[in-house]
Structure 1
Amino acid sequence: MLGALSLLLSGFPRALTWTGALLALLWGVVESRREAAKTPIEIELDGATVKVDDGIVTDFRVLWRGPLSFARWRDAERRAHRLAWWPDTLDAASRRELRLALPAQTPARRRRSVAP
């Protein structure tokens, strides 16, 4: 809706803004229905074994950027998959549970990465 509103408030000619606003609204409806139709992904962390939707995955990693969480893994066919959790989709208790359930991360390099 904000895309349509920003087009209506822009300085473009009226015929172009109304067409663009209608297309932006239509695109928003299509995308929201597509996202609502997706099935939830189930991740099971059991020690060293990680399962996503009952399939064992390899190279499972979770990266943290402040309150944001990003998961990356490869399935049995070696295809890469990614997930991102925003603070409104993964609350503080779930983030803590995810951190505690993850296997230990690899330590930092021993050598200095900068000159002395």
Structure 2
Amino acid sequence: MASSPASSIFRLDWRPSRVLGLALVMLGLLASASVLASRLPPLLKFPAATLALAHALHLARREAGRAPCALAWAGGHGPLRAGDQGLVAPRLHLRGPIAVLVARDVHGRLQRFCWWPDTLSPGLRRQLALAASAGPLTGHPLAAWPA
């Protein structure tokens, strides 16, 4: 029995991770502390430590400010939609409990969606990995994108 094309699309919500924001702040604090513990001259040490912490805070704030979106993926190298924006050439990278989906938008810019354990359950992570492994040569229903 063939599945309907509408059910062949993997849908997943993405939202910014609080754990990632906290990790960025902690890395900034550690970078600042390591600069202060170094043998740099005091004239360079304090501005460099301040700059490291300020950059980490900027990255954490930028990540926390990203708007949540819904992803719809036909799987494999198939088309990916993030909200109303089409993305091409999606690639999924799995590193332990962290999943990163990278794709290009219509202007050629890279778009990254990172799921940490606080935003992606192990079951959804498995489903995401299955969607990524589906391709046009597998015959898997996820490989067909509705017209």
Structure-2-length-normalised TM-score: 0.54
Counterpart residue number, 2:126: 96
Following superposition, the deviation at residue 6 of structure 1 comes to 0.2
2:92 corresponds to? 62
Larger relative contact order (CA 8 Å, sep ≥ 6): 2
Is the 2:102–2:113 contact (alpha carbons within 8 Å) kept by the matching residues of 1?
A: no
What count of residue pairs does the alignment treat as equivalent?
A: 106
SS of residue paired to 2:45: helix
Give the letter aligned to residue 38 of structure 1. R
Q: What is the RMSD computed on CA atoms of the aligned residues?
A: 3.0
8 Å Cα contact 1:72-1:82 kept in structure 2: yes
Please list every run of 5 or more consecutive structure 1 residues that lacks an aligned counterpart in the other structure: 108-116
Q: Does structure 1 residue 5 correspond to structure 2 residue 30?
A: no
Q: Match for 1:29: what amino acid?
A: L
| AA in 2 matched with 1:97 | Q
Tell me the percent identity: 30
Q: Does 1:25 align with 2:53?
A: yes
Cα separation, partners in 2 of 1:13 and 1:82, compared to 1, 3 Å = same
1:81 corresponds to 2:105: no
The offset of 1:41, in angstroms, is 3.6
Q: Residue 26 of structure 1 aligns to which amino acid in structure 2?
A: A
Aligned partner of residue 29 in structure 1, secondary structure = helix
The partner residue of 1:35 within 63, 68, 73 is: 63
Gap regions ≥5 residues in structure 2: 1-28, 138-147
2: CA distance between counterparts of 1:66 and 1:30? 26
1:105 aligned residue? 135
Using the TM superposition, give the Cα deviation of residue 8 of structure 1 relative to its aligned residue in structure 2, in angstroms: 1.0
**Structure with greater Cα Rg:** 1
SS at match of 2:102: strand
TM-score, normalised via structure 1 length: 0.64
Change (3 A) 1:85 1:32: closer
